[in-house]
Amino acid sequence: MFELLPSLKGVLVSRSFDPALWPVVIHSSGTDLFIGGTALRAESLRHTTGFFIDAAGEPRCPTTDECHPASLMDSARRVLVTRIIAAHVTGGRALVRVDAALPQTTAIADVAFVGVGLTGAAMADITVVDTTGHRRTVHAELPAGAIATATLVIALRPVADRAVADQAVVGTHGPRAASPSSCMESPGGRR
C-alpha cells in the first residue's frame, strides 16, 4: 500500500486498548504510550528492572520482586512495564525476553510495544520469557519494526492456583471423583 500511496509512510497508527483487558486508561502519542501524564518509555528508562504501575501511571514498587499483590492497585488486574532485552521474530511468531519476573499466578491478557510504530503490525503469537525463564504466550499485535530495544507494557490477569482450587473443592464438597488432575502418580508418570 505504501508503494501506491507513499505519503502514508509517515503516518502513525494509534493503538486502541480494550478496557476489558487493560485496567488503566492508556493512550498513544506517536510511538509512546501514556497513563495520565506519564510517558511509559521515559519512565521505564528510569528503572533498573520492570515495575507495576497504578492508574495514574506512577510506579507502585521499584522492582517486580518487591511487589506484593496487596500493594498493587488491584490484585486481580495488573499492568507491568518492562524493557525488552532480546527479541526474535520468525514466521509470524515472536519470542521476547524481558527484564522482569512476572508473578507466577498470572497470565498475559495483552501486550503493547512502546517506542515502535504500529504501521504494518499484524496479529501474532508473542511468547514472553521473564527473568526466571517462565514463558507465557498471547495472541496480540506485533509491530513490523525492530522490537529488541522497545519497552513492553503487559496487561496481566490472574489464574487460579491449582493447589488452592483443588483444596477448596475437597474442603467444601468432600472428596471429589477422580479426574485427570487428581489421578495417582504411576511409576511412568501421571495416568
pLDDT given for residue 161 in this prediction: 58
Give the integer Cα–Cα distance in Å for 120 and 29: 17
* pTM greater than the 0.75 cutoff: no
Q: What would the DSSP string read from start to end of the chain?
A: -TTT-GGGGGPPPPP---TTT-SS--EEETTEEEETTEEHHHHHHTSSS-EEB-TTS-BSSSSGGG--GGGSS-TTSEEEEEEEEEEEEETTEEEEEESSPPPTTEEEEEEEEESS--TT-EEEEEEEE-TT--EEEEEEEE-SS--TT-EEEEEEEE---HHHHHHHHHHHH-SPPP-TTTPPEETTEE-
pLDDT given for residue 184 in this prediction: 36
Mean pLDDT of 20-26: 89
For 128, the grid coordinates are 514472553
The alpha helices in the chain, defined as continuous H runs, are: 40-45, 162-173
138: helix, strand or coil: strand
pLDDT given for residue 94 in this prediction: 94
Give the integer Cα–Cα distance in Å for 74 and 31: 27
pLDDT given for residue 183 in this prediction: 36
Question: Which residue has better confidence, 109 or 65?
Answer: 109
**pLDDT mean across residues, the chain:** 75
Q: Minimum mean pLDDT among 48-57, 70-79, 95-104, 167-176: which range?
A: 167-176
User: What sign does the CA torsion over 58, 67, 109, 153 have?
Assistant: positive
Mean pLDDT of 134-150: 87
pLDDT given for residue 15 in this prediction: 78
Mean pLDDT of 92-101: 92
pLDDT given for residue 53 in this prediction: 84
Query: How many residues does the structure list for the chain?
Result: 191
Report CA dihedral (181, 185, 186, 191) to the nearest 10 degrees: 0
| 39-93 pLDDT tens trace | 998 888 888 888 888 777 777 765 555 555 554 445 445 889 999 999 999 988 9
Question: Which residue has better confidence, 41 or 190?
Answer: 41
Question: Which residue has better confidence, 23 or 152?
Answer: 152
